Amino acid sequence: MTNPLAGRTAVITGSNSGIGRATARSLAEQGVRVILAVRDLDKGRAAAAQMHGPTEVRRLDLADLSSVRDFAKAFTDPVDLLINNAGVMMQPLGRTADGFELHFGINHLGHFALSNLLLPHIRGRVVTVAAGGHRAGTLDLDDPNWEHRPYKPFAGYAQSKLANMLFTAELQRRLTAAGSDVIATVANPGLADTNLISHASSTRVRIMNALLRPLSQDEDGGAHTTLYAATADIPGNSYISPSGFLEARGLPEIAGRSKAAQDPELARRLWTLSEESTRTAFPLTMPEHPRGQR
């Protein structure tokens, strides 16, 4: 039987390690042309060398909007899947090249800009990796970059994951309004034993990580929800999460989300702020692509 994914193109951010690497490896094995969008080209090439299938490695630094723009400018061919996977977790207070707080700047604004800049080429899906931690998130649109509030690493991380959820909801609203066949989905990988918080400086975070490790999956397990969100027959704005205890692991399923993540007005306000911050916007018109490409 013909593989429906063979010959398609996927762009996956942060695909040199962890869940992104597992996602890229799985899609490449199914004949998808995978573009590993990574900050470190050497690490990206090392990861690609272990994959069986068509791969390319291109540099993308989500902490620098000029890098995001350069990356997007290189595209002329259609993209079937954009998987916004890269991220940081519970980092000490820091700033991106453009002055944004690291979690908000990398996890949300970098991917926001990338998605809008690539949308003219996308004919399938935009999948964004969020987390169950969005449930603890609050979004302060008056101080999203923690310039006035006392900074807390987990709060910064949770805010960025809530932003991922709201971004997906508003992106889907705009795609539907534009009559586009492209859909946006969001995935929670659950607990995965990866290097995501390996650079966290907080002793409390390291202790929490050690306590939760018995519930964790490996990177392949963590990629299950992303792959489901990217390929399953599901509606736009679906939130895919593990079905097991505390959404830590288990089979992918469509799950509920926090009340804040369902707030359409908050999503619109975040979109406006993100447009102003990144100087990118949803395309005025979406290109027509052959049906059946989702």
60-95 per-position pLDDT tens digit? 999 999 999 999 999 998 999 999 999 999 999 999
**Sign of the torsion angle spanned by Cα atoms 107, 110, 112, 117:** negative
Structure tokens that stand for 278 in this block: 């990144």
Q: Which of 129, 31, 10 is nearest to 81 (CA)?
A: 10
CA distance 29 to 24: 9
Write down the pTM of the prediction. 0.91
Contacts of 244 (CB under 8 A, 6+ apart): 190, 250, 251
Is the sign of the CA dihedral 212, 218, 221, 222 positive or negative?
positive
pLDDT at 204 over 80: no
Residue 181: DSSP 8-state: S
Write out the catalytic residue numbers. 157
Q: Is pLDDT at 201 greater than 60 in this prediction?
A: no
CB 208 within 8 A of CB 216: no
- H-state helical runs in the chain: 18-29, 41-49, 65-73, 102, 111-118, 153-177, 203-212, 219-222, 224-231, 264-278
One-letter amino acid for residue 263 of the chain: D
Domain made up of 9-278: CATH architecture: 3-Layer(aba) Sandwich (3.40)
Q: Residue 200: pLDDT above 80?
A: no
% of residues, the chain, pLDDT over 70: 86
Instruction: Name the residue with tokens 């989300």.
Output: 257
